[in-house]
Chain A
Amino acid sequence: MTELSPVLSASQQSGLERPVPPATFESLFSNAANSAFGVAIRLTRNQADAEDLVQEAALLAYRAFDSFEAGTNFRAWFLKILTNCYYSKRRREKSRPVTSDLDDTPDLYLYARSGQAGFPTQGPDPASELLDKLGTERIAAAMARLPTDYRMVATLYFMEDLTYEEIAHSLECPVGTVRSRLHRSRKMLQKALWQVAQEDGIVSDKMAQGDA
């Protein structure tokens, strides 16, 4: 809850206190839109579907706005609606089961591969050289390779800086599930990043032979 200012306004001092009007849906949504769009594009994997998802979630949120508790975190409330919306869209589409070759990624995958390929593994920010070479779009492409449940958790974690508890609340699952999915999704993402780096010729195929 927002703390009240100890300084009274002139109208308050004169007894003519006016309540602060509640924030409108439009202003709250405008502030949360970039976050929502960032999450949506990572979930849907393309801009057009992301825009549709945000629009659909905005309509649902607008209709449910009476249930939003003023003063609480609108962005978290909206992201919960957006992720629910994405889940139900996927259920409607009866998506095919996803198998992933990323499942068996060992710990410290990128660390080991980077060392073999001559990228830095020490220093103040050792992974930055590889990540800078990949760039945002290709990192997003690697993220898109994660199976849906893992991509959902990873998206909320990397894009939004939500705590494990907040992610669990958004996805309506136990905190332990978030923790284990996040752990696995980090490993999967490291392998996916390396695959993308290979495909782009940033690292040579020879260096990555012996993949699990």
Chain B
Amino acid sequence: MTKLNRSNCEEAFRRLDDYLDRQLSPHEIRLIEEHLRICDWCTREFSFEGSVLRGLKRKLRQIDMPPDRVAKVLSSLPRES
């Protein structure tokens, strides 16, 4: 396996998900960011994927349980004697 270095697009791309999810070591993050500084192509791809993730999280969290349902669930629990 090729080692990650500042000029390798393929190795940077393999770590895209882990980079966006902050799953990399500080050393790997630094190498990725050094690569992004010199590679417009990867910068666009990383930026787009990050935008998709942020957008999906934002949209999918716009849902609440109807307040009366919370009360309904609680009222269905057996009462302690």
Chain A contact residues, CB within 8 Å of chain B: 25-26, 29-30, 33-34, 36-38, 41-42, 51, 54-55, 58-59, 62, 107-108, 110-111, 114, 121-122, 125-128, 131, 134-136, 139-140, 143, 158-159, 161, 164, 179, 182-183, 186, 189-190
B44 adjacent to A122 (CB under 8 Å):
yes
Q: Nearest Cβ distance between residue B17 and chain A, in whole angstroms?
A: 5
Q: Are A34 and B76 CB-contacts (below 8 A) given A131-B56, A159-B60, A164-B23?
A: no
Q: Are A51 and B69 CB-contacts (below 8 A) given A30-B74, A159-B60, A189-B56?
A: yes
The 7 residue pairs across chains A and B that have the minimum distance between CB atoms: A37-B65, A131-B55, A127-B51, A127-B52, A33-B70, A111-B48, A136-B59
How long is the Cα–Cα vector from A137 to B33 in the complex, in angstroms? Answer: 35
Other-chain contact of A59, B17, B49, B53, B77 (Cβ < 8 Å) = B77
- Would you list which residues of chain B between 26 and 81 have a CB under 8 Å from chain A? 44-45, 47-49, 51-57, 59-65, 69-70, 72-74, 76-78
Q: Nearest Cβ distance between residue B79 and chain A, in whole angstroms?
A: 11
A111 adjacent to B73 (CB under 8 Å):
no
B63 adjacent to A125 (CB under 8 Å):
no
Could you list 25 A-B pairs, sorted by A, with CB under 8 Å?
A26-B74, A38-B65, A51-B73, A54-B69, A55-B73, A59-B76, A62-B77, A108-B45, A108-B49, A111-B49, A114-B48, A122-B44, A127-B51, A131-B52, A134-B59, A136-B59, A136-B62, A139-B56, A139-B59, A140-B60, A158-B60, A158-B61, A164-B23, A189-B56, A190-B52
A30 adjacent to B70 (CB under 8 Å):
yes
Q: Which residue of A lies closest to B58 (CB)?
A: A131
Q: Which residue of A lies closest to B69 (CB)?
A: A51
Q: Are A54 and B49 CB-contacts (below 8 A) given A26-B74, A30-B74, A159-B60?
A: no
Q: Are A125 and B55 CB-contacts (below 8 A) given A38-B61, A51-B69, A136-B63?
A: yes
How long is the Cα–Cα vector from A18 to B69 in the complex, in angstroms? Answer: 35
Contacts of A25 in B (CB 8 A): 77
Contacts of A26 in B (CB 8 A): 74
B60 adjacent to A139 (CB under 8 Å):
yes
A41 adjacent to B63 (CB under 8 Å):
yes
A159 adjacent to B73 (CB under 8 Å):
no
B55 adjacent to A58 (CB under 8 Å):
no
A158 adjacent to B56 (CB under 8 Å):
yes
* Residue of B13, B55, B62 contacting most chain A CB atoms (<10 Å): B55
Q: Are A126 and B47 CB-contacts (below 8 A) given A33-B73, A55-B76, A58-B73?
A: yes
A34 adjacent to B73 (CB under 8 Å):
no
